[in-house]
């Protein structure tokens, strides 16, 4: 699948997954895609843990209480460190967002579905920290996103995106291709 097709076909999948295992080499490729992302001042604040042991995936995913996500045979946990890039600036959010998008696009190109699960695990109940503790993550790293990885069992549900002309222009704010 070429890059433009992967970009257009990526979507957040919240349905059930097939049991089809995700080979180790595929998970390794997804991790490499994440680590290849740019990072502010090259601080490389993002680190990743792939979950491929089926019992461990179930135990960690169970903390989310979302059975569909827990049905994925594999997952990638995204960790960050709030390292200062320069002066008081830290780009850790941008860094892990870039890494996640690389992973999601690569997963799409490989025929896997996923979902960027961040809001659910970074809420007041701190599911992400509980996941991190289960995985031996030190206190100076936060587990900010959980990406289930697997072959989808159900059809994609594409969300509606706003029309192009409402969000993207040429040569000035609000300038569409026609004007």
Ligand X SMILES: Cc1cc2nc3c(=O)[nH]c(=O)nc-3n(C[C@H](O)[C@H](O)[C@H](O)COP(=O)(O)O)c2cc1C
Per CB under 6 A, residues contacting ligand X are: 11-12, 14, 115-120, 159
Residues linked to residue 77 through DSSP beta bridges, in sequence order: 49, 146
Rounded CA-CA distance 84/82 in Å is 7
Copy the structure tokens of residue 34.
Answer: 């994440």
CB closer to ligand X out of 74 and 115:
115
Tokens 């008081």 sit at which residue? 88
| Strand spans (E) along the chain | 46-51, 74-80, 142-149
Smallest distance, ligand X to C-beta of residue 24, A: 26
What secondary structure letter does DSSP report for 159? Answer: P
Half-sphere exposure of 34 (CA within 13 A, CB side): 25
User: How far apart are CB 8 and ligand X at their closest, in Å?
Assistant: 10
Q: How far is the CB of 12 from ligand X (least distance, A)?
A: 3
d(CA 57, CA 76) in angstroms, rounded, equals 10
Our CB check for ligand X shows the closer of 73 and 96 to be: 96
Q: Least Å distance between CB 173 and ligand X? A: 24
Instruction: Please identify, using beta-carbon distances, which residue of 9 and 53 lies nearer to ligand X.
Output: 9
Pick 12 or 59: Cβ nearer ligand X: 12
Q: Closest CB to ligand X among 66 and 74?
A: 66
- Closest approach, Cβ 97 to ligand X, in A, equals 7
Specify whether the CB–CB gap between 71 and 149 falls below 8 A.
no
DSSP assignment of 160-179 equals PPPPHHHH--SSSTT--S--
């Amino acid at each position: 699948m070429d890059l433009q097709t992967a970009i257009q076909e990526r979507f957040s999948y919240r349905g059930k997954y097939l049991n089809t295992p995700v080979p180790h080499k595929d998970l390794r490729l997804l991790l490499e895609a994440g680590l290849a992302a740019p990072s502010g001042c090259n601080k490389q604040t993002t680190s990743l843990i792939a979950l491929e042991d089926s019992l461990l995936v179930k135990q960690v995913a169970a903390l989310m209480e979302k059975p569909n996500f827990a049905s994925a045979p594999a997952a990638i946990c995204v960790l960050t460190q709030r390292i200062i890039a320069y002066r008081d600036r830290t780009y850790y959010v941008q860094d892990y967002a870039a890494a996640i998008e690389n992973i999601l696009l690569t997963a799409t190109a490989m025929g896997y579905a996923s979902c960027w699960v961040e809001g659910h695990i970074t809420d007041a109940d701190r599911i992400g920290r509980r996941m991190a503790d289960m995985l031996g993550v030190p206190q100076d790293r936060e587990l900010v996103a959980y990406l289930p990885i697997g072959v989808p069992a159900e059809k994609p549900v594409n969300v509606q995106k706003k029309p192009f002309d409402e969000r993207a222009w040429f040569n000035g704010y609000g300038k569409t291709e026609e004007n």
